[in-house]
């Protein structure tokens, strides 16, 4: 179990790297990280249930302009990780749904709390970039490479520590809550899951359609044809 | 002598770390200088001159990170002119870099952040809801099918076309792709909604469908407003559901 938890926090670090400093390949998207967390702990279905909700919100959160978006890289890992760790500790069916609710809540809160941390990191990078320019002017042509390595190491380290602390605190606080109030949390999941999916998908729909009739019609076609095919094929 | 493919490839690979030191002061400046360094090493044999040009490139720069490769290629073409005594001068390079960055960011943001990323997410979500275990892999592959070629080949496109690339056919092609992906995204999103309402061919419980429709209506109402953000709405809805769940 210790090795798996270590792998979980390291995944948080890798996701944070993929989000901004390195490559931006979308490895950090909650559906991807949740699938990996699920495979790691043998709880794929639960992890993906949490990952789906976090994914719709991550997909409509844009890293554009001066706004620092919510940090769904660590949020996705923390959300799915919290859910699977709780469900592993409390293996009864109501706790499964309660863990899913607690996981999504932990993911959303950590994604929001991650914003000041990302801003702090970016401010630290200002000093790094000033040092880099001075070093280059002094003839150190390797300075940009060293600065990039330092920026990557800092982003990885901060994300790993954040994931470890948040997961630790989350499990400590949520385990007794899920154990004693699993029915209430399972009810909350039944209510919140469709609402969350609806809100997130509506934001995506709005981004795609942009008040164009043809695109709205295509959404309708996908809905009707998908509905019919699912009913007929299944 | 023109820059060899090896140098352009090295620049494309280094562009992956463009945002390694992203900060509020210079944004992608340091990453940009590091990505351009292979070209500067070939163009300026004199270390003092090379250091001067590298230092100039550590200044403020920002664009959408994938299309930055195209700007890198165009800047390398201008640096080549400067190094060989051509028409370009240092100030012109700084201006062109800034204009190209802003102009391509407008196209790149729309394509990669507003359209391709949500589209790839929808493909992944749809596959998971339809019972495929490889939805996450599909999300990753869908995004990278466009992202990686532009990042790696974009340097060559920019180098060959120079600053004129912004007025060339590339912009039109990227905009056409954006429109096509938005249309495909709307279609896939319809399938996602269908998969939520009739999972595995069995209609979801009425309560689930009503709440899904309620969430959709709330989302469509809130989408044009920047505040509260979708995440803040999610937190509010989660808190309300917790209160209701507790009272039942």
Q: What are phi and psi of B23, to 5 degrees?
A: -150, 165
Chains A–B, number of C-beta pairs less than 8 Å apart: 354
Last residue within a domain, chosen from B45, B69, B97: B97
Identify all chain B residues contacting A21, using CB atoms and an 8 Å cutoff. 17, 19-22
- Residue A7 contacts B where some CB pair is shorter than 8 Å: no
pLDDT of residue B86: 80
Chain B residue nearest residue A68, CA to CA: B24
| Domain around B217 | 205-248
Q: What residues contact B170, with CB distance under 8 A and at least 6 apart? A: B70, B157, B161
Indicate the number of domains in chain B: 2
Chain A, 121 to 160: residues with Cβ < 8 Å from chain B are 122-126, 128-130, 132-133, 136-137, 139, 141, 144-145, 147-152, 155
pLDDT tens-digit map of A84-138: 999 998 878 778 999 999 999 999 999 999 999 999 999 999 999 999 999 999 9
- Burial code (b: 16+ CB inside 10 Å, e: under 16) for A3-36 equals eebeebbbbbbbbbbbbbbbbbbbbbbbbbbbbb
pLDDT of residue B88: 79
Q: Output the CA torsion B104→B106→B107→B111 (10° steps).
A: 130
- Residue A186 contacts B where some CB pair is shorter than 8 Å: yes
Point out the residue among A128, A199, A207 whose CB comes nearest to the CB of B237.
Answer: A199
Structure token pair of residue A200:
């997130």
Point out the residue among A48, A60, A221 whose CB comes nearest to the CB of B128.
Answer: A48
pLDDT of residue B87: 78
Question: How far, in Å, CA of A68 to CA of A29, rounded?
Answer: 16
Last residue within a domain, chosen from B97, B121, B143: B97
Chain B residue nearest residue A148, CA to CA: B20
pLDDT of residue A90: 84
Point out the residue among A109, A181, A219 whose CB comes nearest to the CB of B186.
Answer: A219
Structure token pair of residue A157:
């380290």
Residue B157 lies in a domain: no
Q: Is the ipTM of this complex over 0.90?
A: yes
Chain A residue nearest residue B237, CA to CA: A192
CA of A88 vs chain B CAs: smallest distance (Å): 21
pLDDT of residue A66: 65
Chain B residue nearest residue A203, CA to CA: B223
Residue B156 lies in a domain: no
* pTM, two decimal places: 0.95
HSE (CB half, 13 Å, CA atoms) of A101?
32
Residue B130 lies in a domain: no
Determine, for residues A25 and B147 on separate chains, whether the beta-carbon distance falls below 8 Å.
Answer: yes
Determine, for residues B47 and A141 on separate chains, whether the beta-carbon distance falls below 8 Å.
Answer: yes
pLDDT tens-digit map of B69-104: 999 999 999 999 999 988 778 999 999 999 999 999
The stretches in chain A having pLDDT less than 70 are 64-66
- Helix A143-180 to helix B29-43 angle (10° resolution) is 150
Last residue within a domain, chosen from B97, B131, B149: B97
Evaluate whether B33 touches B61 at the Cβ level (below 8 Å): no
CA of A164 vs chain B CAs: smallest distance (Å): 22
Residue B166 lies in a domain: no
Residue B47 lies in a domain: yes
Calculate Rg over the CA atoms of chain A. 20
Q: Which of A160, A204, A231, A25 is nearest to B125 (CA)?
A: A204
The whole-angstrom distance between residue B205's C-alpha and the CA centroid of its chain comes to: 39
Question: How far, in Å, CA of B6 to CA of B98, rounded?
Answer: 26
Q: What residues contact B60, with CB distance under 8 A and at least 6 apart? A: B25, B26, B27, B29
pLDDT of residue B248: 74
Residue B111 lies in a domain: no
Determine, for residues A205 and B189 on separate chains, whether the beta-carbon distance falls below 8 Å.
Answer: yes
The stretches in chain B having pLDDT less than 70 are 1
Determine, for residues A141 and B207 on separate chains, whether the beta-carbon distance falls below 8 Å.
Answer: no
């Amino acid at each position: 179990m210790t090795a798996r938890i270590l792998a979980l926090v390291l995944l948080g670090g890798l996701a944070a790297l993929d989000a901004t400093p390195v490559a931006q390949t979308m490895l950090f998207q909650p559906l991807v990280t949740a699938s990996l967390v699920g495979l790691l702990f043998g709880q794929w279905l639960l992890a993906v249930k949490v990952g789906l909700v976090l994914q719709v919100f991550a997909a409509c959160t844009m890293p554009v302009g001066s706004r620092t978006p919510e940090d769904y890289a660590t949020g996705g890992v923390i959300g799915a990780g919290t859910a699977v760790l709780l469900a592993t500790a409390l293996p009864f069916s109501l706790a499964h749904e309660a863990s899913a609710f607690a996981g999504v809540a932990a993911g959303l809160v950590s994604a929001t709390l991650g914003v000041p941390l990302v801003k702090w990191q970016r401010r630290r990078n200002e000093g790094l970039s000033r040092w880099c320019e001075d070093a280059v002017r002094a003839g150190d042509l390797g300075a940009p490479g060293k600065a990039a390595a330092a920026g990557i190491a800092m982003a990885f380290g901060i994300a790993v520590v954040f994931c470890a602390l948040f997961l630790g605190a989350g499990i400590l606080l949520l385990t007794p809550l899920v154990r004693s109030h699993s029915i209430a949390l399972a009810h909350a999941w039944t209510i919140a899951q469709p609402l969350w999916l609806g809100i997130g998908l509506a934001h995506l729909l709005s981004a795609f359609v942009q008040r164009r009739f043809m695109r709205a019609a295509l959404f309708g076609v996908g809905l009707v044809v998908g509905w019919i095919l699912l009913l007929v094929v299944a | 002598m023109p820059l060899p493919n090896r140098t352009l490839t090295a620049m494309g690979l280094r562009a992956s770390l463009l945002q390694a030191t992203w900060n509020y002061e210079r944004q992608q400046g340091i990453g940009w200088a590091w990505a351009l360094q292979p070209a500067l090493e070939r163009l300026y044999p004199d270390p003092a001159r090379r250091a001067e040009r590298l230092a100039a490139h550590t200044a403020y720069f920002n664009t959408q990170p994938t299309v930055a490769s195209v700007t890198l290629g165009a800047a390398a073409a201008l640096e080549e002119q400067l190094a060989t005594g051509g028409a370009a001068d240092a100030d012109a390079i700084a201006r062109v870099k800034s204009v190209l960055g802003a102009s391509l960011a407008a196209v790149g943001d729309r394509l990669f952040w507003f359209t391709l990323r949500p589209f790839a997410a929808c493909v992944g979500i749809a596959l998971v809801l339809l019972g495929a275990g490889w939805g996450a892999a599909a999300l990753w592959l869908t995004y990278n099918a466009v992202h990686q070629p532009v990042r790696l080949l974009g340097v060559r496109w920019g180098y060959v076309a120079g600053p004129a690339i912004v007025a060339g056919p590339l912009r039109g092609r990227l905009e056409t792709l954006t429109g096509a992906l938005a249309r495909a995204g709307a279609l896939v999103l319809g399938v996602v909604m269908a998969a939520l309402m009739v999972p595995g061919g069995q209609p979801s419980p009425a309560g689930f469908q009503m709440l899904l429709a309620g969430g959709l209506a709330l989302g469509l109402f809130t989408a044009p407003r920047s505040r509260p953000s979708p995440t803040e709405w999610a937190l509010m809805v989660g808190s309300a559901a917790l209160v209701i769940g507790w009272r039942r």
